[in-house]
Amino acid sequence: MNIKMISVGKLKFKWFKQGVAEYKKRCSRFCNFKTVIVKSEPEPEPLSKGQAEQIMDKEGTRILKKIKPKEYVFALAIKGKQLTSVQFAHEIQRLATYGHPDITFVIGGSLGLASKVLKRSDAQISFGKFTYPHELMRTVLAEQIYRAFMINSGTPYNK
């Protein structure tokens, strides 16, 4: 199984890099876990709605270039479906079992995801109605992917 996490912008803080690296390492016994970073666009202040749309569109184009046609894509979106960790694990297992060994997760930049990225996604998921810094979300997502594999393997990590 191949898991790819695409996100916008570099990780600036060492502890976020370490967190993602740790869960990526832990996942290595279950899958090939790859992280892909696309360049973020500068955001002028003040930012008009039109400028925000242009920025998301440019970032969206960069994201879509990193997605292959065969990949099953989860977009992280605040309006997406909220899952428990067990439901998430079962969804990963279902996809792997039924012909989707390549799963991609997309985390947008500070403005969110362009509509064209949401349209390309096969599913939209949410980690709640809170807004998280995209750097923190990468670490949280990496941990939940690892947790899903641990749940599916029947280990007590989830307890």
Domain with residue 118: its CATH number is 3.40.1280.10
**Would you say residue 5 has pLDDT above 80?**
yes
Global pTM reads 0.95
9 is in an annotated binding site: no
> Residue-wise over 92-130: b if at least 16 C-beta within 10 A, else e?
bbebbeeeebbbbbbbbbbbbbbeebbebbeebbebeee
User: Is 126 a member of any domain?
Assistant: yes
Q: Which domain holds residue 78?
A: 2-41+51-152
Q: Is residue 157 part of a domain?
A: no
- pLDDT value for 159: 64
Does 81 reside within a domain? yes
Q: Is position 76 annotated in a ligand binding site?
A: yes
User: Is there a domain that residue 46 lies in?
Assistant: no
Residue 60 lies in a domain: yes
Q: What DSSP string describes the chain?
A: -EEEEEEES---SHHHHHHHHHHHHHHTTT-EEEEEEEPPPP--SS--HHHHHHHHHHHHHHHHHT--TT-EEEEEEEEEEE--HHHHHHHHHHHHHTT--EEEEEE-BTTB--HHHHHH-SEEEES-SS---HHHHHHHHHHHHHHHHHHHTT-GGG-
Kindly state whether residue 58 falls inside one of the protein's structural domains: yes
Count of the separate structural domains present in the chain: 1
In this prediction, what percent of the chain has a pLDDT beyond 90? 89
115 domain-assigned: yes
Q: Mean pLDDT across the stretch 77-93?
A: 96
Average pLDDT over residues 16-20: 93
Question: Is 159 a member of any domain?
Answer: no
Band (pLDDT 50/70/90 cuts) for residue 141 is very high
Cis peptide before 101 (omega within 30 of 0): no
For residues 10-37, give the mean pLDDT: 94
